[in-house]
């Protein structure tokens, strides 16, 4: 961490404003937007995925997008990535050790086990890619166009799809 002073004060907005004015006169400054997230990242308290999740959470425009961002902020996405990297490294070591010990009588490499492990990793990667696509859809949304003649129900269809009175 860093040396930081955090003040909690009880009182009216006028009292809080006066406290802020005095602190600024004594050399304090207001935090910049995103500064606490940046400092957490620079001090290795959160990783880049979590820092991006903070922005996603702030800009979420649906409860599902907010839940997705909160899950990423919890570190779950990073944990999945780190586990995949570790598992791939383990597989690589197993494969390389087979090359290194080909003249030895040490049974190092088992193709069936290797293929099974690799298939399991591929399944997890496939799920990760699909979840990432869904996350992108939540963050960015989709643009759709309803085209038709006047008074054929475009507005009614939009309202039914969104379950709100948008049109």
**pLDDT tens, residue by residue, 5-44:** 888 888 899 999 999 999 999 999 999 999 999 999 999 9
Alpha-carbon span 106 to 152, nearest angstrom? 75
pTM beyond 0.75, yes or no: no
Alpha-carbon span 22 to 71, nearest angstrom? 39
Identify the band that residue 102 occupies on the pLDDT scale cut at 50, 70 and 90. low
Residue percentage of the chain with pLDDT more than 70:
93
Supply the pLDDT for residue 21: 96
First and final C-alpha spacing in the chain: 50
Alpha-carbon span 135 to 76, nearest angstrom? 14
CB atoms within 10 A of CB 95: 14
49-100 pLDDT tens trace = 899 999 999 988 888 888 888 988 998 888 999 999 999 999 898 888 777 6
> What CATH number should be reported for the domain whose range is 13-162?
1.20.120
CB atoms within 10 A of CB 77: 21
* pLDDT at position 138 over 80: no
Residue 123: alpha-carbon gap to chain centroid = 20
Alpha-carbon span 130 to 134, nearest angstrom? 6
């Amino acid at each position: 961490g860093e040396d930081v002073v955090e003040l909690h004060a009880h009182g009216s907005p006028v009292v809080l404003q006066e406290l802020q004015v005095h602190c600024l006169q004594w050399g304090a400054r207001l935090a910049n937007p995103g500064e606490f997230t940046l400092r957490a990242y620079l001090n290795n308290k959160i990783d880049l995925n979590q820092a991006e999740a903070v922005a996603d959470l702030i800009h979420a425009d649906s409860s599902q997008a907010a839940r997705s961002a909160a899950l990423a902020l919890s570190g779950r996405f990073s944990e999945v990535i780190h586990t995949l990297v570790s598992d791939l490294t383990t597989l690589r070591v197993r494969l390389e050790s087979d090359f290194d010990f080909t003249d030895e009588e040490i049974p190092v490499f088992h193709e069936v086990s290797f293929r099974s492990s690799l298939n399991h990793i591929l399944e997890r990667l496939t799920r990760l890619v699909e979840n990432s696509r869904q996350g992108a859809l939540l963050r960015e949304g989709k643009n759709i166009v309803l085209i038709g003649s006047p008074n054929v129900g475009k507005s009614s269809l939009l309202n039914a799809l969104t379950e709100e009175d948008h049109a």
